[in-house]
Structure 1
Amino acid sequence: MAAPGAEEVLTRIRRDGVEWINLQFTDLLGYFRQVTIHKRLLDAEAFEEGLGKLDGSSVRGFAGIQESDLVLKPVPGTYAKLPWAERAARLISRVYKPGGRERLPRDPAYALERAVSYAAEAGFEVKISAELEFHVFKDISVKLEPYESGVRIESAEILREGNPFFLRQKEAYFTVEPYNSVMEFEVKLGRVLEEYFGIPVEVFHHEVSAGGQVEVNWRYSDPITTADRLQTIKYAARNVARELGYVAVFLPKPIPSDNGNGLHVHLSLWSGGRNTFYDPSDSYAELSQVGRYFIGGLLEHGRAVAAFTNPTVNSYRRLIPGFEAPVYLVWGKANRSAAVRVPFYFPGDEKGRRIEFRSPDPTANPYLAFTAIIMAGLDGVKKKIDPGDPIDENVYAMGEAKRRALGIKSLPRSLDEALDELESDNEWLKPAVDRELLEEYIELKREEARSLAAYASAAEYAFYLSL
């Protein structure tokens, strides 16, 4: 079905009785933001020329105070009436410089658009989807007390007493009701995503963590649409959870002793209507040489890619052995201990032949994460980077000596380490990522890591109070 144009959206606004429209966009760090306008401001010209309603200096990473006037240009195909706000709708928008003709280089969606164009110039159409994992908690208690330098976190505790989502830790995968108490949430979220936002949800299930962990899968699409949908799903999940009296939590590692949340990215390259990753003559995984080269680039640049796919301090609390999160930069068929898995449910499945990059997490800005994954893989295709032999055993169970002998690299152990890698390995990003975006992103993330390094956790009190 073709996406609606501006005139059709304006007709829908009148038909839906909408009075207020949220113009939504994603900032450099991945936060979903919005400016709310009255319907009278939105006409056909606004879709074409944009609306000058954004103070870029108030959005970290976008613009300085001396260059703060920015333009939002709504994307008609993202229109949705909001089920939780009366007479309100939303439109995802792209960010432009004054005049509405030139894109803002620091708009992360622009970087992904450039990556898609770069792939097209190389003769490829990118198809991408994701598996989004998150927790649904009954409550979260965070006590904040202001002091002269900002905010002090006195305690941060996930309240599990009375939480309906309780099973033995690491044993909640595929559970049914009444043990899967998130079923009501899943059904309502699925209905909202399908009926209001037009997102074709395919699968919900309870994930491994006993803390009310949900996984949602939706149909693949082009990278821009998939990134827009990912932001929308997180947005909808938070609102549906609130309506049910819960809190949706996308932290990569919210519970220390249980599995964390991943964002598994599935990707294939197509050309002339054929899947270039598919080779029926390949005896290992029906994976073509193009697919192998793509994996080679992803593994070669994987430590730098992590700065985008695992962009928070909490990300590296998930990337530890023993909790199903991939730690080692290897690949293999159907191997979930590898950073890159080649799913292989059915032989002869050209449409389904793809790679799955398992290390990303839900705190990633999807526009930048997809950009990094695509550009790293395309660099592998361009340079014919060999990914090495596949690994068909549990990488976690290997001894360290064997991993060293095989030359297996691990993902970074911290956000700072990932940023170090990105600073020294980023030439492959240049066709898609503007230099000012890259430098601003690294600086903002350095500042984030420095700020969090100053806080003592509850665990540190437990370990060190008596020393």
Structure 2
Amino acid sequence: MTTAATQSVLDEHYERNGDQAAIETVRARIAEAGVEYVYYQVVTLTGRVVGKVAPATELVRNVENGLRAHPGVMADLQMDAAGVLLAASPERGECVVMPDLDSFAVLPWDPRTGFFFCRMYEPAGAPEGAGGRPMPLDARGSFARAHAAFTARTGLELRSGCEPEATWTVPGHSAEHVPGTPHPMYHVGQLEQLRPVYQKVMSYGQELGFEMIESNCEGPGQLELNWMFDRADRTADRLVLHRLICRQVARELGASVTFMPKPAENQLGNGCHHNISLWEGDRNVLLDPGTPGLHLSTTGRHALGGILSHSAAAAAVMAPTVNSYKRYVATGQFAPQEINWGMDNKTCAVRLPASGRLEVKSPDAMVNPYLSHAAILASIEDGLKNSIDPGPARGSTDGPVTDRFGTLPLALDEALDLFAADHVLIQGIGPELTDLFLRMKRQEWARFCGAVTDWERMMYGAEGC
């Protein structure tokens, strides 16, 4: 038995999961759906879902005591150039994996299977007094704690909605656009060719509690399927689930889907714009009551100033792959390059499409949503604390637009250097999580630099000299 003075964060989670009323609620859902198996899943630093499966009959034991997993899974068991695991030594002890009871849901494509999202903790008795502490490499748990701490300090809650794009290849349908032909953006004929895809994805999303809203075909084979905004941690979970849904639908239809930021030179890039707002209770503080027209409150301007100030460094998180920067380089496709803002201007890095929300356009479809939201949250708090002025909007008559926020980096290595020097983002995401992210991504860049590509063979092969 622990006292209030000695109770660890893990002890608090044990206590929450011992709530018999909460357990009975889950058991009732399991019985109603006929669930026989349960996934206990965590999200890695690269946004992959990993976990364990157990019979539903083991529910009480697993939710009250947790499961165990090696922390190396948080880095996808990646190794450095010397063959050493990046996240933890093989000799390192396992962590406790604790399900969040309120995250339980049933797979719509197989009601015999349910799942929990989980958080990871150091076990009791861990060395150096770490027992019972949150495992710092758990991006999902880290963001939940960061958001709660932000709310405690400011009284504000971050809400968000994402615009995830994906490129689909279905039998008999090409994802390529032929130059000189009409662009099929929003074309209903394109939607019709992808009808089996969007219907299944939207249906599964609704069964998992997504409030699906307007969606569209942005280009050949590209779908953007949206759901209603919510508290940022819920939105992040739903984005992870959306990717799982898309992969399941692809398997069912014999299709393929990619979230690659730039699948090919003749295809549109896949973005994942984050639409954000700040709430104090039921009041959206980005709005100024009584102000007509498209506008942003003083609080909103300072939040925007913080986002712009850290956009260059945050690109490492928002655009986390080598391929991500090919989306930025491809001009004329609404991906940002300059770090600026505008009212309803799709060329800007951040735009105000409607009073009450800001659209951050740098994230792409391979973003880890817990890291991206943590970076946005840290940037916003810096903007609020230091009253950072975003300057006039692009195209505004309020004054000359300056380029004081610069441009987004155009390669992953440049982005990583900027990220490593931004102490606001490092503290907001967490020093240990940042360190692992940087080591993983610097190694990714090094592997890319050592790879020989088709472009190089074309340029410098037998016919290139």
**Which TM-score bucket, shorter chain as reference?**
0.7 to 0.9
> Between Structure 1 and Structure 2, which shows a larger proportion of helix residues?
2
Seen in structure 2, the aligned counterparts of structure 1 residues 303 and 178 have a Cα distance that, compared at 3 Å, is closer
Moved more, 64-73 or 319-328: 64-73
Equivalent residue number for residue 137 of structure 2: 106
Q: Aligned partners of 1:16 and 1:416: how far apart in 2?
A: 48
Q: Which amino acid is the alignment partner of residue 328 of structure 1?
A: E
Seen in structure 2, the aligned counterparts of structure 1 residues 310 and 38 have a Cα distance that, compared at 3 Å, is same
Q: Aligned partners of 1:272 and 1:36: how far apart in 2?
A: 38
Task: Count how many residue pairs are aligned between Structure 1 and Structure 2.
Answer: 420
Q: Aligned partners of 1:230 and 1:59: how far apart in 2?
A: 18
Superposed, 1:43-442 pairs within 5 Å as 43=60, 46-52=62-68, 54-60=69-75, 62-85=87-110, 87-99=112-124, 101-120=132-151, 121-138=153-170, 162-164=172-174, 168=178, 171-177=183-189, 180-195=192-207, 197-207=208-218, 209-210=219-220, 212-280=221-289, 285-320=294-329, 321-344=331-354, 353-392=356-395, 406-407=403-404, 409-430=406-427, 432-442=428-438
Report the CA distance between 1:168 and its aligned residue.
Answer: 4.2
Report the CA distance between 1:82 and its aligned residue.
Answer: 2.1
* Structure 2 SS opposite 1:21: strand
Task: Please tell me whether the aligned partners of residues 351 and 360 of structure 2 are also in contact (alpha carbons under 8 angstroms).
Answer: yes
Report the CA distance between 1:282 and its aligned residue.
Answer: 5.2
* Structure 1 SS opposite 2:95: strand
Report the CA distance between 1:386 and its aligned residue.
Answer: 0.8
* Structure 2 SS opposite 1:163: coil
Report the CA distance between 1:273 and its aligned residue.
Answer: 2.1
Q: Aligned partners of 2:33 and 2:215: how far apart in 1?
A: 29
* Structure 2 SS opposite 1:202: coil
Q: Which amino acid is the alignment partner of residue 105 of structure 1?
A: P
Report the CA distance between 1:126 and its aligned residue.
Answer: 1.3
Equivalent residue number for residue 450 of structure 1: 446
> Between Structure 1 and Structure 2, which shows a larger proportion of strand residues?
1
Residue-by-residue CA offset, 1:95-121 (whole Å, 9 max, x unaligned)? 122149431111001221132123212
Q: Aligned partners of 2:440 and 2:176: how far apart in 1?
A: 37
Equivalent residue number for residue 18 of structure 2: none
Between the two proteins, what is the percent identity of the paired residues?
32
Seen in structure 2, the aligned counterparts of structure 1 residues 460 and 373 have a Cα distance that, compared at 3 Å, is same
Q: Aligned partners of 1:254 and 1:243: how far apart in 2?
A: 22
Residue-by-residue CA offset, 1:182-215 (whole Å, 9 max, x unaligned)? 12210111111112x11111122101x32x0000
* Structure 1 SS opposite 2:188: coil
Seen in structure 2, the aligned counterparts of structure 1 residues 164 and 319 have a Cα distance that, compared at 3 Å, is closer
Task: Please tell me whether the aligned partners of residues 273 and 362 of structure 2 are also in contact (alpha carbons under 8 angstroms).
Answer: yes
Task: Please tell me whether the aligned partners of residues 341 and 348 of structure 2 are also in contact (alpha carbons under 8 angstroms).
Answer: yes
Q: Aligned partners of 2:274 and 2:410: how far apart in 1?
A: 21
Report the CA distance between 1:127 and its aligned residue.
Answer: 1.1
Task: Please tell me whether the aligned partners of residues 160 and 232 of structure 2 are also in contact (alpha carbons under 8 angstroms).
Answer: yes
**Aligned match of 1:39 in 31, 52, 56?**
56
Q: Which amino acid is the alignment partner of residue 372 of structure 1?
A: A
Q: Which amino acid is the alignment partner of residue 138 of structure 1?
A: V
Report the CA distance between 1:27 and its aligned residue.
Answer: 0.9
* Structure 1 SS opposite 2:339: strand
Residue-by-residue CA offset, 1:220-243 (whole Å, 9 max, x unaligned)? 111111111000000011101110
Q: Please tell me the root mean square deviation across aligned C-alpha atoms, in Å.
A: 2.3
Q: Aligned partners of 1:342 and 1:370: how far apart in 2?
A: 18
Structure 1 unaligned residues grouped into runs of 5+: 140-161, 345-351, 394-401
Task: Please tell me whether the aligned partners of residues 342 and 356 of structure 1 are also in contact (alpha carbons under 8 angstroms).
Answer: yes
Task: Please tell me whether the aligned partners of residues 27 and 62 of structure 1 are also in contact (alpha carbons under 8 angstroms).
Answer: no
Task: Please tell me whether the aligned partners of residues 166 and 179 of structure 1 are also in contact (alpha carbons under 8 angstroms).
Answer: no
Task: Please tell me whether the aligned partners of residues 251 and 314 of structure 1 are also in contact (alpha carbons under 8 angstroms).
Answer: yes
Residue-by-residue CA offset, 1:20-47 (whole Å, 9 max, x unaligned)? 211111012222212111223211x532
